[in-house]
């Protein structure tokens, strides 16, 4: 296993274990199976394990495995505060204490504010005294490193990154999301500040494993013989700014394969030929796109607050992946921002079209995107969720 250092010199395995996808047996996690897989990973050098308060049964399962196998001191545990449901200082304490109990530990190595999409969420936590709370927990040794996970757009990520002295951060990043969400700009900005970056969704939930036939053919032409998963993982580890890549491993074969790749991959390893294949695959996947938006953001800012690239990203995602999953991701990420940037806010001024290098009919496409992303059921659902979560 190869390791990359955090900002304090701790050596983190460049392959991390994402515990959200532990296999289930009926309504519960299959503990015996999860134990075999986790212990196999630990035995071969994986030392970073990521879970969260809202992953059903995950914290309890991981805590039990580590306690029963007496290996808590061999790993780093990362878990998360569900900031989107926290409404009081007392709730922060209650949630954190419950997490410590579930994980059967007295401290968390890497603690994250879960799923920021908007700077306003950090501002809300500040009104509850989160900065003093973090300082107290660190002083007491109950939190070793503090960070946040992120699912919004780049500019907001950069604002949150600068808002506090974070020890690390976690972003969705893969070769399809290279210039969306936090993106390469966010990755490099964090690295320039010396902030380790943990990568989630490295294969976009399996979408970069189950490639279209033409993309598989392009990859088969590579003399290295990489599988789709291996190419996606190596693309990430090729970048020195990446600290750790999380994989939701749920079979011993997957653990073994990912460890093999992680034990070989280093920054700068990919040849120009492999990088060209990545670009070919990306273009093949994006042939299904409805809007040829490159995410350059020359159209921004919109005077009415429309997130033009964001709307087009999720609109395209509907046709590159499942419509339901893209709509859910749109509702979860853009819909829960304090200022959501819906396409319906467009006033039709046309400034965006004057600045678009692709000469897109932006106003027309925004209307299409809004109809597709927010059918009546989603409009109602998003409105209700906003009233509950953002009240």
Least confident of 15-24, 309-318, 350-359: 350-359
Q: Please write the tens of the pLDDT for every residue from 233-254.
A: 999 999 999 999 999 999 999 9
Strand 244-247 relative to strand 168-172, pairing: unpaired
Q: Please write the tens of the pLDDT for every residue from 106-144.
A: 999 999 999 998 999 999 999 999 999 999 999 999 999
What's the rounded mean pLDDT across residues 372-381?
Answer: 91
- Are the beta carbons of 49 and 75 closer than 8 angstroms? yes
The number of beta carbons lying within 10 Å of the beta carbon of residue 207 is: 19
What's the rounded mean pLDDT across residues 177-203?
Answer: 95
65 burial via Cβ count (<10 Å: 0-12, 13-18, 19+)? buried
Which DSSP helix (H) or strand (E) runs through 171?
strand 168-172
Cα distance from N-terminal residue to C-terminal residue, the chain = 46
Q: Please write the tens of the pLDDT for every residue from 330-359.
A: 998 888 888 889 999 999 999 999 888 678
Question: Which position has the token pair 């500019």?
Answer: 155
pLDDT tier at 391, thresholds 50, 70, 90: low
Domains of the chain, earliest start first: 3-278 (3.20.20.100), 308-389 (no CATH)
What the block records as the tokens of 202 is 């490295």
Residue that wins the pLDDT comparison between 98 and 336: 98
Report the pLDDT value the prediction gives residue 262, as an integer from 0 to 100. Answer: 98
In terms of DSSP H, where are the helices of 77-195?
Answer: 89-103, 119-127, 130-139, 154-161, 183-192
Report the pLDDT value the prediction gives residue 212, as an integer from 0 to 100. Answer: 86
- Are the beta carbons of 199 and 242 closer than 8 angstroms? yes
pLDDT > 80? residue 275: yes
Whole-model pTM?
Answer: 0.83
In terms of DSSP H, where are the helices of 298-375?
Answer: 308-320, 323-333, 351-355, 362-373
Residue that wins the pLDDT comparison between 177 and 358: 177
Least confident of 71-85, 96-110, 153-167, 344-358: 344-358
């Amino acid at each position: 296993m190869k390791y990359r250092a955090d900002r304090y010199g701790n050596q983190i395995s460049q392959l991390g274990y994402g515990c959200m996808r532990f296999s289930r047996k009926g309504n519960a996690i299959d503990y015996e199976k999860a134990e075999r897989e986790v212990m196999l990973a630990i035995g071969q050098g994986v030392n970073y394990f990521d879970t969260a308060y809202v992953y059903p049964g995950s914290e309890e399962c991981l805590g039990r495995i580590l306690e029963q196998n007496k290996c808590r001191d061999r790993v780093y545990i990362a878990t998360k505060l569900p900031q989107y449901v926290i409404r009081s200082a007392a709730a922060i304490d209650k949630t954190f204490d419950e997490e410590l109990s579930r994980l059967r530990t007295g401290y968390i190595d890497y603690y994250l504010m879960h799923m920021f999409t908007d700077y306003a969420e950090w501002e809300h936590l500040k009104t509850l005294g989160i900065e003093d709370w973090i300082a107290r927990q660190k002083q007491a040794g109950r939190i070793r490193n503090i960070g946040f996970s992120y699912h919004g757009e780049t500019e907001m990520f950069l604002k949150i990154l600068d808002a506090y002295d974070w020890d690390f951060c976690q972003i969705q990043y893969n070769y399809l999301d290279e210039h969306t969400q936090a993106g390469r700009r966010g990755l490099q900005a964090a690295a320039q500040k010396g902030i380790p970056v943990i990568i989630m969704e490295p294969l976009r939930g399996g979408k970069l494993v189950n490639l279209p036939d033409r993309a598989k053919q392009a990859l088969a032409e590579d003399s290295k013989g990489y599988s789709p998963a291996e190419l996606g993982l190596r693309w990430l580890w090729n970048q020195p700014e990446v600290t750790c890549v999380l994989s939701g491993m749920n079979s011993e074969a997957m653990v073994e394969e990912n460890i093999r790749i992680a034990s070989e991959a280093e920054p700068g390893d990919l040849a120009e030929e492999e990088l060209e294949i990545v670009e070919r695959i990306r273009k093949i996947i994006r042939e299904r796109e409805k809007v040829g938006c490159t995410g350059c953001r020359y159209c921004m800012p919109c005077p009415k607050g429309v997130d033009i690239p964001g709307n087009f990203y999720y609109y395209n995602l509907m046709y590159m992946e499942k419509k339901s999953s893209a709509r859910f991701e749109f509702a979860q990420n853009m819909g829960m921002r304090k200022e959501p940037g819906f396409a319906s806010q467009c006033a039709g001024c046309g400034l965006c079209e004057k600045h678009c290098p692709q000469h897109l009919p932006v106003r027309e496409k925004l209307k299409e995107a809004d109809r597709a992303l927010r059918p009546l059921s989603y409009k109602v659902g998003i409105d209700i969720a906003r009233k509950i979560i953002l009240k």
